[in-house]
């Protein structure tokens, strides 16, 4: 059953409203703006019908508060007369669903409430479906990465650290939070192309021959092929293709340089190398972060985007890098 919050300073109006919604709804009656706000702070409601003209706290203030604390709840304003200014304030500040002028037609108000709640239910269903889809694709990315694990010396903890270094660097570079999180997730796929590299090369304990290097260097574009052409994986394809490019154009597979390498790939390259340096690998001990940063700074401009190296240094200084490393 849906909960309606009815707010009016006139007890007669409040009683009329409560009577007309008694059947089929749980109603909460608030005698004035203060009481309305107190209800909003205490319990979840689905819909609010609020009078505009009330002493101390006006209807638009109550509905603006509702927008802050319970943004999902539908907001309907009752106006005593054509108060254009209050209406404008309400539309702008409280994003109201509808305004109803007093005296109202009960049947019409009832229908408005029914329609509004239908749209609320629909929105909740859509939100749930979207959340499920989002969880499913995130799981699919991780599953694919875990399936590839063992193929390479990389472990899942490497991928999680790269994910979080990437997200932190993207945020530091001014990428918005949703895009940064997406970039982080997609970074986990940077070496997915190694699924196509023969084990004899990937796991060879000795140095690779020139011919073997040629095959090894095919993994960025093999990754692009694996990642298909769904627009959703565009960032993952950029990262796979570009994570061995160098800032000065001396990398592979395309030898592109500077801003021609997508930002996502420039970030992941740095995150990937930083993690490789600072963790144990079969062929090396972990380097202290300071030492890794000194090494990276020597290659700023040649291998790495210097602007991102500066942000990496800052993330080291504020403890973010240590926190991420300790978490995985
Ligand atoms: Fe790679
Ligand atoms: Fe890696």
User: From the CA of 197, which ligand is nearest?
Assistant: 1
pLDDT at 81: 65
Q: What 3-state class would DSSP assign to 35?
A: helix
Give 234-246 pLDDT, tens digit per residue.
999 999 999 999 9
Location of structure tokens 């095959």 = 215
Ion ligand 1: residues, CB < 5 A: 191
pLDDT at 290: 97
Location of structure tokens 């210097």 = 306
pLDDT at 198: 93
Tell me the whole-structure pTM to 2 decimals.
0.75
Residue 322 pLDDT class (50, 70, 90 cuts): very high
Q: What 3-state class would DSSP assign to 72?
A: coil
pLDDT at 269: 98
**Cα(158)–Cα(83) distance, rounded to whole angstroms?**
61
Tell me the CA–centroid distance for residue 190 and ligand 1, in Å: 6
Largest CA distance in the chain: 90
Please, are residues 172 and 307 in contact by the beta-carbon 8 Å criterion? Answer: no
Give 91-116 pLDDT, tens digit per residue.
778 889 988 888 899 999 999 999 99
**Cα(266)–Cα(314) distance, rounded to whole angstroms?**
17
Tell me the CA–centroid distance for residue 139 and ligand 2, in Å: 19
**Cα(241)–Cα(222) distance, rounded to whole angstroms?**
9
Give 36-48 pLDDT, tens digit per residue.
999 999 999 999 9
- Residue 154 pLDDT greater than 70, yes or no: no
Tell me the CA–centroid distance for residue 173 and ligand 1, in Å: 22
pLDDT at 101: 87
Tell me the CA–centroid distance for residue 133 and ligand 1, in Å: 29
The predicted model gives 145-169 an average pLDDT of 86
- Angle formed by the axes of helices 156-172 and 306-317, nearest 10°: 100
The predicted model gives 169-182 an average pLDDT of 98
Domain 3-125 top-level CATH class: alpha beta
Hey, what long-range contacts does 308-312 have (CB within 8 A, 24 or more apart)?
308/169, 308/173, 308/266, 308/267, 308/270, 309/270, 311/169, 311/172, 311/173, 312/169, 312/270, 312/274
Domain 149-327 top-level CATH class: mainly alpha
**Cα(161)–Cα(190) distance, rounded to whole angstroms?**
13
**Does 102 qualify as catalytic in the annotation?**
no
User: From the CA of 191, which ligand is nearest?
Assistant: 1
CA 145 to chain centre: 20
Lowest mean pLDDT segment, chosen from 91-105, 123-137, 171-185, 277-291: 91-105
Q: Which of 194, 203, 269, 314 is catalytic?
A: 194
pLDDT at 183: 98
Q: What's the mean per-residue pLDDT of the chain? A: 93
Ion ligand 2: residues, CB < 5 A: 272
pLDDT at 291: 97
User: From the CA of 239, which ligand is nearest?
Assistant: 1
Beta strand ranges found along 118-217 (DSSP E): none
Give 275-294 pLDDT, tens digit per residue.
999 999 877 899 999 999 99
Residue 76: burial class (beta carbons within 10 Å; 0-12, 13-18, 19+): buried
Question: What is the arrangement of strands in the sheet containing 26-30, beginning at the earlier edge strand?
Answer: 26-30, 3-7, 47-51, 74-79, 98-101
Dihedral angle at the C-alpha atoms of 39, 42, 44, 48, nearest 10 degrees? 10
Tell me the CA–centroid distance for residue 259 and ligand 1, in Å: 20
- Residue 68 pLDDT greater than 90, yes or no: yes
The predicted model gives 152-165 an average pLDDT of 86
pLDDT at 262: 98
Tell me the CA–centroid distance for residue 40 and ligand 2, in Å: 49
Residue 158 pLDDT class (50, 70, 90 cuts): very high
Stronger pLDDT, 33 or 79, i.e. the higher one: 33
pLDDT at 45: 97
**Cα(116)–Cα(65) distance, rounded to whole angstroms?**
19
- Residue 189 pLDDT greater than 70, yes or no: yes
The predicted model gives 200-211 an average pLDDT of 92
Q: Residue ranges per domain, the chain?
A: 3-125, 149-327
């Amino acid at each position: 059953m849906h909960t309606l919050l009815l707010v009016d300073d006139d007890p007669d109006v409040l009683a009329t409203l409560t009577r007309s919604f008694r059947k089929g709804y749980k109603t909460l009656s608030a005698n004035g703006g203060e009481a309305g706000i107190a209800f909003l702070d205490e319990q979840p409601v689905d819909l609010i019908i609020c009078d505009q003209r009330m002493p101390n706290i006006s209807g638009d203030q109550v509905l603006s508060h509702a927008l802050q604390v319970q943004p999902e709840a539908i907001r309907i304003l009752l106006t005593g007369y054509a108060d254009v200014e209050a209406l404008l304030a309400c539309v702008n500040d409280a994003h109201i669903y509808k305004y109803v002028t007093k005296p109202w037609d009960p049947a019409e108000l009832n229908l408005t409430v029914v329609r509004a709640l239908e749209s609320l239910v629909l929105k909740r269903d859509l939100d749930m479906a979207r959340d499920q889809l989002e969880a499913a694709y995130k799981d699919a990315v991780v599953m694919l990465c875990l399936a590839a694990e063992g193929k390479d010396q990389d472990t899942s903890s490497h991928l999680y650290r790269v994910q979080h270094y990437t997200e932190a660097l993207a945020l530091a570079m001014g990428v918005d939070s949703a895009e940064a999180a997406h970039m982080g997730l997609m970074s986990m796929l940077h070496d997915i192309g190694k699924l196509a590299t023969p084990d004899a090369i990937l796991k060879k304990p000795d140095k690779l021959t020139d011919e073997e290097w040629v095959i090894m260097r095919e993994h960025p574009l093999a990754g692009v092929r694996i990642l298909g052409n769904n627009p959703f994986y565009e960032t993952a394809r950029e990262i796979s293709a570009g994570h061995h490019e160098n800032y000065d154009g001396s990398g592979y597979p395309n030898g592109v340089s500077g801003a021609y390498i997508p930002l996502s790939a420039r970030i992941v390259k740095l995150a990937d190398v930083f993690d490789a340096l600072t963790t144990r690998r079969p062929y090396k001990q972990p380097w202290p972060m300071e030492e890794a940063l000194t090494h990276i700074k020597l290659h700023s401009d040649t291998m790495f985007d210097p602007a991102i190296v500066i942000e990496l240094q800052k993330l080291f200084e504020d403890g973010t890098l240590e926190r991420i490393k300790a978490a995985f």
